[in-house]
Structure 1
Amino acid sequence: MTATTTVRHGVRVLQLSESGPAIAGESDATDLLGEAYGAQAEIVAVPVGRLTPEFVRLSSGVAGAIVQRFVNHRLRLVVIGSLDHLGPATGPVADWVHEANGGDDLWFVDDLDELDARLRGADMSTPS
């Protein structure tokens, strides 16, 4: 997978490029986890364009399987970009996004600036 590793506000982030294979299920998540461990990353940032439409079709179980792999391995997954092209982000999907953004395991952000802002907020509770 094409990715770069950066340190953003003291956190190592494996950032996938916009182009590349789709993240469509557990095996893809496993590949990402291996790459993240190799990069010693704490966060994997995935552009929304790399996700398949099944990701927001919650009844498919794809999102749950992918996210659970990350949770089990104590890595944070960040989806970057609007979910609009995958389908309507309303109802249960909007509720899920809102709930996820209130936690630590999965974040949905519009862009890297928003990720930086979230990480800065997390840094505030950490002594300098």
Structure 2
Amino acid sequence: MELTSHNINGRQIAEVISNEVIIKNTEDGLSLLGDVYYQGFDKVVLYAENITPDFFDLKTGIAGEILQKFINYRIELAIAGNFSGYKSKSLADLIFESNKGRQVNFVASLEEALSKL
């Protein structure tokens, strides 16, 4: 895993880059949160392909636990990827409601993530 820093309007945004799934469970998500927080970032871009598919199955509770921690620590998160393959109405509702705010956003690309954050 590598963190790349983007400077947008004087704010540092961490882009998490990896060739593998780095968030397999809640603990992995909390570890990532700690890493970026410790390094002074308050905005993070994470790619959907680096997250276990179980995250997108809301019945597992992984998404709720991880997203709540990011919100509690006031770390803005943008998850970039293609979410059209997930047919869950509850996930679609979560994405819709999250995208209304600023704390957690589901976006299609890095460019969109950087503009949201």
Alignment counterpart, residue 89 of structure 2, candidates 74, 81, 91: 91
> 1:11 Cα shift?
2.5
Aligned to 1:23: 23
**Structure 1, residues 59-114: CA drift from partner, whole Å, max 9, x if none?**
11010011011111110111011124xx4244111111010000122101111221
Structure 1 or 2, whichever has the larger Rg, is 1
Matched residue pairs, number? 117
Q: CA RMSD in A?
A: 1.7
Residue 33 (str. 1) matches residue 33 (str. 2) = yes
> 1:27 Cα shift?
1.4
* Contact 2:79/2:113, CA 8 A, preserved across alignment: no
Identity of aligned residues (%): 30
Aligned to 1:118: 116
Structure 2 portions without partners, runs of 5+: none
User: Equivalent residue of 2:46, what SS?
Assistant: strand
- Following the alignment from structure 2 to structure 1, what is the Cα–Cα distance between the partners of residues 92 and 25? 21
- Give the residue type in structure 1 aligned to 2:3: A
Aligned to 2:53: 53
Deviating runs (4+, > 3 A) in structure 1? none
> 1:25 Cα shift?
2.4
Moved more, 49-58 or 10-19: 10-19
What is the TM-score of this pair, normalised by structure 2?
A: 0.87
